[in-house]
């Protein structure tokens, strides 16, 4: 997908209001809030005097005493036959959180007859932010008249004047070079105009349009070397760095996103794509791959622990991870608490092994958790990794809550042998004549073609053709990957039909780790059209790997409260919270009918 160059701060709010005919007179019905530019936005609708009213609400996350947001909003009610109703309003939010919008937007009866789909109403609001005041982090540098002696031009943005130095801006930005230097080979940009003839004025004034004065202040601070970037303004500063072609500011934003930003990886990746941050994409692809391992967490609350009998096992429920059944157990033995993790492949062959690292945790009442780490090789005769983790008396005194004990196990799978479907393609030394690099995964060597992997994966593009040390090497070691999964991943990458219910979770993990969209698409196709996995397992994968299409298909198959209970009956620890919330909402709506 190509990124659309954005020259305005704009976004679209969209909400589907359920069961609109049941709306009561004079009652506001709200959408879920969405965060844009560090401000929470939402839509509300109201039935009033036989008309539909629509409003957009604006609430800064950390509002100062004085603030304002000037906007242009395009309201839309989506019609069932492309007969959308659209009206536009300019409005200014200030100081108090209120909803601004359009009364008598459409007659209620007309809305019911022509705009509802299964009783639901779809409303959109395209919000363009024209100017903000008082929002964001505190300013750390002045550009007002106090800078007269260190400036030779005034830039006017909205009602704010910025006193700056022409030559310095010209060295940092091709836009300002074109604007200020007469002999520049570039043309004058369309969205700036001189209020005075530069040759006749010691300090000419230039108006910049389509720019937020608040954002421009932060942009100038960064341009002048200040540490002005935070998660509340990074996209706005990036927008101006892209608009004015200021590479230094863009690099500073890249560094912030990589090293300091607390935004989600998906949000950062979206910014990198929109503003063509190639270095960010390369570096983040590598750091993201290093951070992702083949792991999962088991968690269980063991109840009435003081009543446990000597040497009798007490067990958690069984969970399926990477086509292997896992569960935890605890036991009272010789005055000690013994914790263990048991595994059992779903389709065990005659010979199999799973090399794993276990981080066993007993959760304390006062954040005094006990964590023990061990490595264990699971095989046919050794399916249990165990550890004497605590003195029993100490556990009873310090770790029980109402007689219950919380135990967690983080399981990191290092390598497997003998599991999954049979290999259909070789990547060993027999492929030397059609390869130019060797990838080493634990003790296995894969002979592959650099250029082909780079075309399919930004991680491998960065690894082989970026500035990393590995780009010059003929042999590169990859960490945090199971060689068995990596083999199946390569088979899919090279066009083989290697995906089945026993391999898909491992392949998805590697494809996500190495940012390989083609392999992810093939996994999605398999889940939608061929997999015989239970619905809950598909939902787990959809949540973990952000597979929106799979999630929507699964949700459409959940039609009754009994369906929801069947998914939630074993707990929600392994489900994405957003999916759990949607399932609970299905129950709530069913109970209200």
Domains and CATH numbers, the chain: 9-133 (2.60.210.10), 145-276 (3.30.710.10), 295-417 (2.60.210.10), 429-592 (3.30.710.10)
485 phi and psi, to 5 degrees? -65, -40
What mean pLDDT is predicted for residues 49-69? 86
278 token code pair = 């190639």
191-216 average pLDDT score: 69
Q: Which residues contact 39 (CB under 8 A, 6 or more apart)?
A: 58, 59, 60, 61, 69, 135
**Both tokens assigned to 243:** 């608009």
C-alpha triplet 408, 574, 489: angle, nearest 5°: 105
Question: Which residues make beta-bridge pairs with 86?
Answer: 76
Q: How is residue 346 annotated by DSSP? A: S
Which of helix, strand or coil describes residue 96? coil
The interaxial angle of helices 278-291 and 247-259, nearest 10 deg, is 10
Backbone angles phi, psi at 549, to 5 degrees: -65, -40
3-class state of residue 315 by DSSP: strand
| pLDDT for 219 beyond 80 | yes
Write out pLDDT tens, residues 366-424.
878 888 888 888 887 666 766 778 889 989 988 999 999 999 999 998 888 877 677 87
Name which of 333-347, 402-416, 458-472 the model is least confident about: 458-472
Top mean-pLDDT range of 35-44, 282-291, 513-522: 513-522
Percent of the chain with pLDDT over 90: 30
Measure the CA–CA gap between 248 and 250, rounded to whole angstroms: 5
- Average confidence (pLDDT) over 427-443: 89
Q: What is the pLDDT of residue 2?
A: 26
Q: Chain-centre distance of CA 300, in angstroms?
A: 27
pLDDT at residue 413, as a whole number:
87
pLDDT score of 6 more than 80: no
Q: What residues are paired with 29 via a beta bridge?
A: 45
Q: What is the pLDDT of residue 291?
A: 63
For the beta carbon of residue 105, count every other beta carbon within 10 angstroms: 21
Check whether 51 has a pLDDT greater than 60. Answer: yes
Alpha-carbon distance 326 to 317, whole Å? 8
Summary mean pLDDT of the chain: 84
301-320 per-position pLDDT tens digit:
999 999 999 989 899 988 88
| pLDDT tens track for 257-270 | 877 888 777 778 77
Do residues 456 and 448 make contact, with C-beta atoms less than 8 angstroms apart?
no
| Residue 406 to residue 314: CA distance in whole angstroms | 13
Backbone angles phi, psi at 592, to 5 degrees: -85, -10
- DSSP conformation letters of 395-454: HHHHT-BTTBEEEEEEEEEEEEES-SSPP-S--SGGGGGG-SEEEEETTEEEEE-HHHHH
> Which residues, 6+ apart, have CB-to-CB distance to 280 below 8 Å?
254, 257, 258, 268, 272
Q: What is the mean pLDDT of residues 531-537?
A: 89
Residue 566 pLDDT greater than 90, yes or no: no
pLDDT band at 47 (very low <50, low <70, confident <90, very high): very high
pLDDT higher for 162 or 322?
A: 162
CA–CA gap between residue 577 and residue 444 (Å, rounded): 37
Confidence of residue 194 (pLDDT cuts 50, 70, 90): low
Nearest of 367, 312, 361, 311 to residue 341 by alpha carbon: 361
Nearest to 583 by CA among 557, 555, 552: 555
Least confident of 138-147, 347-356, 360-369: 347-356
pLDDT beyond 80 at 96: no
Is the model's pLDDT at 438 over the cut of 90?
yes
Instruction: State how far the Cα of 268 lies from the Cα of 258, in Å rounded to an integer.
Output: 9
When pLDDT is averaged across residues 308-336 and rounded to a whole number, the result is: 89
Which 3 state secondary structure label does DSSP give 549? helix
Q: Measured between alpha carbons, how far is residue 22 from residues 43, 154, 271, 588 in Å? A: 18, 57, 40, 16
Average pLDDT over residues 503-518: 92
Least confidently predicted of 218-222, 288-292, 434-438: 288-292
- Closest C-alpha among 195, 227, 232 to residue 215: 232
Position 183 pLDDT exceeds 60: no
Give, rounded to a whole angstrom, the gap between the first and last alpha carbons of the chain.
Answer: 42
Alpha-carbon distances of 123 from 37, 115, 322, 508, rounded to whole Å: 21, 10, 41, 35
pLDDT reported for residue 527: 94
pLDDT at 8 over 60: no
Q: What is the pTM of this model?
A: 0.52
Going by C-alpha positions, the residue among 210, 233, 231, 203 that lies closest to residue 220 is 233
Whole-angstrom distance, CA of residue 422 vs CA of residue 431: 19
Provide the 3-class DSSP secondary structure of residue 44: strand
Q: What is the CA radius of gyration of the chain?
A: 30
Residue 363 pLDDT exceeds 60: yes
Distance separating alpha carbons of residues 323 and 537, to the nearest angstrom = 10
- Asked if 208 and 157 touch (Cβ cutoff 8 Å), the reply is yes
């Amino acid at each position: 997908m190509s990124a659309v160059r954005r020259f305005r701060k704009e976004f679209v709010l969209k909400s589907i209001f359920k069961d609109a005919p049941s709306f009561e007179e004079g009652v506001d019905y709200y959408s879920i809030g969405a965060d844009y530019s560090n401000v929470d936005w939402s839509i509300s609708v109201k039935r009033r005097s036989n008309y539909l009213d629509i409003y957009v609400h604006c609430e800064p996350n950390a509002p100062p005493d004085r603030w304002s947001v000037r906007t242009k909003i395009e309201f839309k009610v989506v019609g069932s036959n492309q007969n959308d109703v659209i009206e536009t309003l300019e409005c200014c939010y200030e100081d108090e959180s209120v909803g601004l919008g359009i009364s008598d937007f459409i007659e209620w009866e007309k809305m019911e007859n022509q705009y509802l789909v299964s009783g639901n109403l779809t409303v959109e609001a395209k919000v363009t932010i024209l100017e903000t005041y008082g929002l964001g982090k505190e300013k750390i540098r002045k550009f007002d008249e106090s800078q007269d002696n260190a400036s030779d031009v005034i830039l006017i943005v909205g009602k704010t004047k910025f006193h700056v130095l022409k030559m310095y801006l010209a060295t940092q930005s091709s836009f300002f070079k074109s604007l200020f230097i007469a002999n520049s080979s570039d043309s004058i940009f369309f969205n700036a105009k001189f209020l005075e003839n530069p040759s006749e004025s010691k300090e000419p004034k230039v108006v910049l349009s389509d720019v937020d004065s608040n954002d421009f202040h932060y942009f100038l601070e960064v341009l002048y070397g200040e540490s002005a970037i935070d998660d509340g303004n990074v996209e706005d500063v990036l927008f101006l760095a892209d608009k004015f072609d200021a590479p230094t500011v863009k690099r500073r934003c890249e560094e912030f996103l990589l090293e300091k930003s607390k935004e989600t990886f998906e949000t950062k990746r979206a910014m990198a794509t929109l503003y063509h941050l190639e270095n960010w994409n390369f570096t983040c692809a590598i750091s993201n791959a290093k951070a992702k391992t083949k792991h999962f967490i088991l968690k269980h609350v063991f109840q009435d622990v003081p009543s446990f009998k000597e040497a009798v096992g007490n067990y958690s429920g069984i969970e399926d991870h990477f086509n292997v059944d896992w569960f935890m157990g605890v036991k009272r033995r010789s005055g000690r608490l013994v914790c263990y993790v048991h595994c059992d492949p779903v389709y065990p062959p005659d010979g199999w092994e799973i090399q794993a690292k276990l981080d066993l945790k007993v959760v304390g009442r006062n954040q005094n958790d006990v964590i023990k780490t061990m490595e264990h090789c699971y095989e046919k005769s050794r399916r249990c990794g165990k550890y004497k983790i605590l003195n029993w008396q100490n556990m009873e005194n310090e770790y029980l809550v109402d007689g219950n004990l919380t135990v967690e196990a983080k399981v990191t799978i290092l390598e497997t042998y003998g599991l999954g479907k049979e290999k259909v393609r070789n990547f060993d030394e027999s492929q030397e004549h059609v390869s130019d690099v060797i990838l080493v995964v634990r003790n296995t060597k894969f002979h592959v073609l650099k250029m082909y992997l780079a075309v399919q994966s930004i991680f491998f593009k960065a690894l082989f053709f970026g500035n990393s040390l590995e780009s010059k090497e003929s042999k590169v070691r990859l960490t945090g990957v199971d060689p068995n999964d990596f083999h199946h991943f390569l088979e899919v990458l090279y066009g083989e039909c290697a995906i089945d219910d026993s391999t898909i979770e491992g392949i998805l993990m590697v494809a996500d780790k190495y940012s390989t969209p083609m392999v992810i698409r093939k996994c999605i196709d398999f889940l939608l059209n061929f997999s015989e996995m239970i619905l809950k397992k598909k939902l787990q994968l959809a949540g973990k790997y952000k597979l929106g299409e799979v999630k929507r298909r699964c949700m459409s198959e959940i039609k009754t409260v009994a369906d929801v209970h069947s998914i939630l009956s074993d707990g929600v620890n392994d489900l994405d919270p957003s999916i759990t919330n949607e399932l609970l909402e299905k129950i709530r709506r069913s109970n209200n009918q």
